[in-house]
Amino acid sequence: MPVLEVRDLQKHFPVATGTLLRRKTGWVKAVESINFSIEAGETLGLIGESGCGKTTTAKLILLQERPTGGTIRFDGEDIGGLHGDGLMRYRRSVQVVFQDPFASLSPRMRVGDIIAEPLEIHTGMTRQQLQQRVAEVLELVGLSPDVAKLFPHEFSGGQRQRVAIARALATNTRLIILDEPVSALDVSIRAQIINQLEHLQDTLGVSYLFIGHDLATVAHISQRIAVMYLGHLVEIAESTELCAHPLHPYTQALLIAALPAHPDAKQERIAITGEIPSALAPPPGCRFHTRCPHAMPRCSVEAPVSKEVAPGHAVACHLF
Ligand SMILES: Nc1ncnc2c1ncn2[C@@H]1O[C@H](COP(=O)(O)OP(=O)(O)OP(=O)(O)O)[C@@H](O)[C@H]1O
Ligand code: SF4
Ligand SMILES: [Mg+2]
């Protein structure tokens, strides 16, 4: 059974206009009927351009937003129906690491207290047990237990992100949502953090949902990748398969953009031209048709449904 299973998940945000009488005038369709699952010890990458709905998906899983439709199951149980102990257990099991460790770590708290916070809320541990657990997770992420008494500003960017990961691990976490965890870091530090995350997964068996927009990084850490475009999942496959045989024209464009330019490259560069359309007024039919080099008449009227074209490889495009 997968750890996490997302079925037909949907999130529409109401949009209001007018200064005096604010009236609901439309909906931002941030997430539209997406499906994926994550196994124990697996990393699923979630990739797509800015505004395609990645963070909204994360917030739905973290119960920071309520879905408009669909279900999220954790260990087979619908998280929408959780309360009391079951809800507490879920909140302990699923944690998040955001892009900017400065914004996500309280500047006035010592690192030890920052890491202990989710444990204080969710468990009845004594002061001594808390300190011991803080020391354990600091060592797990490659930091000395002595740093517990320091403040976030006393760390480098990479070390701060290690603190955020330690905090996310503290509650014997089963799934960590990594929302662009290395995007704000120096290139030289990124690989260290990615390697640390992989090592932690090997040791602890924790699952990751790794959100990013850089295909090279996402493909490196993920066993499978889901590609999102304007609220829709357009393709999902194993990372090696997706990079070797990208089927959706949008995935192909992302892949070519991620490759270093090669003057002798035989492969034709498929440029994605034009702006990302607004999620407030998404194009009808296939949402990618305004930018797709293969668009056919049917693409602007009929939305493609996702089809499994090879085991574990699904794509939503009329070409398949
Ligand atoms: N609370 C909200 N109210 C209204 N619209 C929202 C809200 N949160 C997100 N949106 C909209 O939903 C869409 C998806 O946003 P989201 O933050 O999930 O994108 P993202 O893929 O994480 O982008 P980025 O790569 O920039 O982080 C965007 O059009 C955004 O403006
Ligand atoms: S359905 Fe049509 S417009 Fe959409 S990606 Fe496929 S070919 Fe392009
Ligand atoms: Mg985001």
- Substitution candidate for ligand 1 out of 55, 61, 65 with most atoms within 8 A of CB: 55
Identify whether the C-beta of residue 49 lies closer than 8 Å to the C-beta of residue 229: yes
At which residue do the structure tokens 């995935």 appear?
251
Spacing, Cα 131 to ligand 1 middle (Å):
37
pLDDT, one tens digit per residue, over 110-147 is 999 999 988 887 677 889 999 999 999 999 999 999 99
Task: Let me know if 265 is exposed, middle or buried by CB neighbors in 10 A (0-12, 13-18, 19+).
Answer: exposed
Instruction: Return d(Cα 5, Cα 105) in angstroms, integer.
Output: 29
- Which of helix, strand or coil describes residue 25? strand
Instruction: Return d(Cα 40, Cα 227) in angstroms, integer.
Output: 21
At which residue do the structure tokens 């990302």 appear?
276
Give percent of the chain with pLDDT exceeding 90.
76
H, E, C per residue of 74-96: ECCEEHHHCCHHHHHHHHHHEEE
What confidence score (pLDDT) does residue 103 get?
Answer: 75
Spacing, Cα 25 to ligand 2 middle (Å):
29
209, two tokens: 């949902």
Name the closest ligand to CA 57.
1
pLDDT band for 21, please (50, 70, 90 cuts).
low
Mean pLDDT, residues 309-313: 95
Does a structural domain hold residue 289?
yes
* Residues of the domain holding 163: 4-315
Instruction: Return d(Cα 255, Cα 242) in angstroms, integer.
Output: 9
CA 309 vs CA 24, 191, 232, 260, 315: distances in Å: 41, 33, 18, 29, 7
Name the closest ligand to CA 228.
1
Ligand 1 atom at minimum distance from 57 CA = 18
Instruction: Return d(Cα 29, Cα 228) in angstroms, integer.
Output: 13
What confidence score (pLDDT) does residue 107 get?
Answer: 87
pLDDT, one tens digit per residue, over 55-112 is 999 999 999 999 999 999 999 999 999 999 999 999 999 999 998 777 778 889 999 9
CATH number of the domain bearing residue 293 = 3.40.50.300
Whether 216 has a pLDDT exceeding 60, the answer reads yes
Q: Judge if the beta carbon of residue 30 lies within 6 A of ligand 1.
A: yes
Q: Which residue has the higher pLDDT, 105 or 40?
A: 40
Does a structural domain hold residue 320?
no
N residues, the chain: 320
Task: Let me know if 105 is exposed, middle or buried by CB neighbors in 10 A (0-12, 13-18, 19+).
Answer: buried
Mean pLDDT, residues 224-237: 97
201, two tokens: 């997964």
Please indicate, yes or no, whether the overall pTM of this predicted structure exceeds 0.85.
Answer: yes
149 torsion bin: left (phi>0), alpha (psi -120 to 50), beta (else): alpha
Identify whether the C-beta of residue 67 lies closer than 8 Å to the C-beta of residue 11: yes
Mean pLDDT, residues 243-267: 79
- For ligand 1, atom 27, the nearest C-alpha belongs to 50
What confidence score (pLDDT) does residue 234 get?
Answer: 98
| Cα dihedral 170→175→176→178 (10° resolution) | 170
Name the closest ligand to CA 34.
1
Does a structural domain hold residue 118?
yes
Whether 32 has a pLDDT exceeding 80, the answer reads yes
- For ligand 2, atom 3, the nearest C-alpha belongs to 289
Q: What is the mean pLDDT of the chain?
A: 91
- Substitution candidate for ligand 1 out of 56, 183, 233 with most atoms within 8 A of CB: 56
Spacing, Cα 53 to ligand 2 middle (Å):
20
233, two tokens: 């999942």
Name the closest ligand to CA 179.
3
pLDDT band for 266, please (50, 70, 90 cuts).
very low
Mean pLDDT, residues 165-180: 95
DSSP 266-288: -SPP----SPPPPTTSPPSSSTT
pLDDT band for 192, please (50, 70, 90 cuts).
very high
Task: Let me know if 6 is exposed, middle or buried by CB neighbors in 10 A (0-12, 13-18, 19+).
Answer: buried
What confidence score (pLDDT) does residue 289 get?
Answer: 95
Work out how many domains the chain is built from and give that number. Answer: 1
Q: Judge if the beta carbon of residue 28 lies within 6 A of ligand 1.
A: yes
Mean pLDDT, residues 258-281: 64
CA-based torsion, 240, 244, 248, 254: positive or negative: positive
Does a structural domain hold residue 133?
yes
